[in-house]
Amino acid sequence: MVKDKKTLTILVAAIAVLPLIFKSDSFHNILVLLLIYATLGEAWNIITGFAGQTSFGHAAFFGIGAYASAVLFYKFDISPWVGMFAGGLLAAGVALIISYPTFRLKGSYFAIATLAVAEIIKQLFVSWNFVEGATGISLPIVNDSWLCMEFHTTKLPYIYIALGLFAIAVFACSYIENSKIGFYLKAIRESHEVAESIGINTTNYKTAAMVISAFISAFAGSIYAQYVLYIDPFMLFTLDISIKIVLLTVLGGIGSIYGPLIGASILIPLSEITRVKLGGTGRGIDLMIFGLLVVLVACYQPKGIIGLVNKLKNYFKKAGDGKVEANS
């Protein structure tokens, strides 16, 4: 656990230095989005990587967080920082409500149910006049301000806000993974029936994982809303976002706290570069390439890139131990 904390601290510090070395706006934009999606991947990992409950509806929590902070700022001039916590609590409440019926389902039925819930929430926001419905919300433009979380001359503040959230998410995941709840969630992942037979209340622990996951996802949505300054239901509550969260985590290594960052470090630059270079003509190419990578990883290294790294590490360690024994 101590070793993990040191490694994670070094990792976060290294990311913090990157925007000071590479100062282009395009790199800063990629880094902001990368950190937001890596945070979403960490959140998704709690319910799927640890507990084994595959969710295809995390875009709903992302969108709720974005709308909560945006609406409070747009209509009531309330700081996005307050809206961020409001969105987190609202998303957690929604997760709590939907957990009871959906966790009665298992496997693919649960995954389909989460997808259906996300679509229902999307349609509610499309028809809800209070949040401007399908028209969306353009956030008021104000002077650069930490209180209003708006910065127009530099993206550095957004990077460090997103990095702060990512650091909280990754340390929280590390703590959960090595805590009692983490071991219980892994037991549920391996065998729901065996977990129940040894006295684990599977419903309560899965619900707790879903609530924590939704809370973190909503925070990421709030930061995204303040970053792009325009939101609508069709850009937030989409299957595209949910699938990206799934794909980047699976590619990096599902169940690993480093997996989402590795996956996001490949998918987000790929998406942004193809968007800039190819424009509308290249739409979807990034997902095609990324999908091919996921298929290759699933066939040859199911534990993702982090699994490949660990495999190589063990190989070189054994090779090194063999040399030491030979020399002795």
Domain spans of the chain?
A: 2-238
- Per-residue pLDDT at 325: 58
According to the model, what pLDDT value does residue 144 have? Answer: 92
Write the single-letter amino acid at 144.
D
Category of 225 on φ-ψ map: left (φ > 0), alpha (ψ -120 to 50) or beta = alpha
In what helix (H) or strand (E) does residue 288 lie, and over which residues does it extend? helix 285-300
pLDDT at 299: 77
Distance CA 175, CA 69 (A): 28
User: Which conformational region is residue 246 in: left (phi greater than 0), alpha (psi within -120 to 50 degrees), or beta?
Assistant: alpha
What's the pLDDT score for residue 321? 62
Q: Kind and range of the H or E element at 230? A: strand 230-231
Instruction: Measure the CA–CA gap between 201 and 221, rounded to whole angstroms.
Output: 31
One digit per residue, the tens of pLDDT, for the chain of length 328 reads: 555 788 889 999 999 999 999 999 999 999 999 999 999 999 999 999 999 999 999 999 999 999 999 999 999 999 999 999 999 999 999 999 999 888 888 878 898 999 999 999 999 999 999 999 999 999 999 999 999 999 999 999 999 999 999 999 999 999 999 899 999 999 999 988 889 998 899 999 999 999 999 999 999 999 999 999 999 999 999 988 998 899 899 889 898 899 999 999 988 998 888 877 766 555 667 777 777 877 877 777 777 888 777 777 776 766 666 655 555 5
Per-residue confidence (pLDDT) for residue 319, from 0 to 100: 67
Say if residues 261 and 41 touch (Cβ distance below 8 Å): yes
CA terminus-to-terminus distance, the chain: 33
Cα 24 to chain centroid, rounded = 25
Q: What are 171's two structure tokens?
A: 């340390």
- Residue 261 tokens read as 């960052």
At 317 the three-state DSSP class reads helix
Neighbours of 13 (CB within 10 A): 11
This prediction has a pTM of 0.92
pLDDT at 3: 58
β-pair partners for 231:
137
Specify which residues 150 forms β-bridges with: 145
* Alpha helices, H only, the chain: 2-21, 25-44, 58-76, 80-102, 108-127, 156-177, 180-190, 192-197, 202-228, 233-236, 239-252, 259-278, 285-300, 304-327
Per-residue pLDDT, 303: 77
SS3 of the chain: helix, strand, coil, percent, to 5:
80, 0, 20
Sign of CA dihedral 87, 91, 94, 100: negative
Determine the pLDDT at residue 282: 59
The identity of residue 43, as a single letter, is A
